[in-house]
Structure 1
Amino acid sequence: MCYPALWERRTVANFQICLLIFFYFLPLCIITCLYTHIAIVLWRKRVPGSAEKHLRPVQLSKRKSTDSDNRVSSRRKAVKMLVVIVVVFAMCFLPNHTLNILRYLEQLRKVPNLRMFALIAHWCTFFNSCINPIIYNFMSDKFRKEFRVAFSLCCHCGKARTPRGSMVRYQMTAANKRNLTVKISNSNIK
């Protein structure tokens, strides 16, 4: 097994423990705290910045029953998605960090099927990079809708058909790296 030549094995083991703390537990704690805060905000009666404050009481009472049910359902889906994202992050990164700790504490001889464990541990780390959009796709209707629009832009070279049979053209220009302008124009096809 290879070890850094300039450090003693115990120093490398301590370094790996620091990596575990700063690159696993700290990010896990941060995303858990932030997503918990988001979940709490989503469970409140009124989300900050919602459009309800601009409606008159008569308009609000007519919309309340259907909008309330849709809003609660949408919020529950969002909270579930946030929980899944955190759990997937924890599950994907833990095997690799565990492998590194075991390696430098010289405990790998006790691990059966070491090569398979190492392969799966590294694969899980890379897998986490691609699983989030898949989770968003399965758990968010809005993400799925916007992804279809973006995908149709790629497949149809800037042209996408709308359900009514009209053609929608998307033109994207960037003046610099920070500003992006999107122009949408409809034209009926006859």
Structure 2
Amino acid sequence: MNTQAPSSATLGADLRALRKARGLTLSEIAARLGRSVGWLSQVERDMSEPSISDLRQIAGCLGVPMSMLFAHAAAPAEEQGYVVRAGARRPMGSGEEGLIEELLSPDLTDDFEMVHSTFAPQSRMQTPANRPTQEVGYMLSGRLELTIGGRQFSVGPGDSFRIRHEPYQWANPHDEPAVAVWVIAPPVY
């Protein structure tokens, strides 16, 4: 039995199907998000892409993990669950916040997930996060300013950092992208 969604499925179609399956109206979800019905309608019609923060809030409203909102390109049967090819990763979010994330893990059946994050120059996290997770990040390139549990840090290539059930926020006030790989437990996407 093939359990993969058809390749024609889009984020907007998935959101609309999840919303309708829960008996929720555009108005109800828009109100919970503090967004307009028009914006949410455009997202559902794939005319607008939500940011990572928007997707996190939408997933929360729909009661689903963020991973449910992201389709992955079909891998050959012998590679499924083992290998993720660079060209088969789907970017998550619009980049509106200046952050594009890609799932590096083959799936979310492990006790952790790996995520590739690219932080655009002059970008900043819109809303601080406080997740019930343990996270370790490793900087591949660029510089990132982090606030973790009220303490501020500047990290660059080769540096790593850890976040344990603490509020955190990131910023890239620099003129070049910052790229990091994160390991997050338990999986949140």
Structure number, greater radius of gyration: 1
Same fold (TM over 0.5): no
> Higher strand proportion, which one?
2
Normalised by the length of structure 1, the TM-score is 0.31
- Structure showing greater relative contact order (alpha-carbon pairs closer than 8 Å, 6 or more residues apart): 2
> What TM-score comes out, normalization by structure 2 length?
0.31
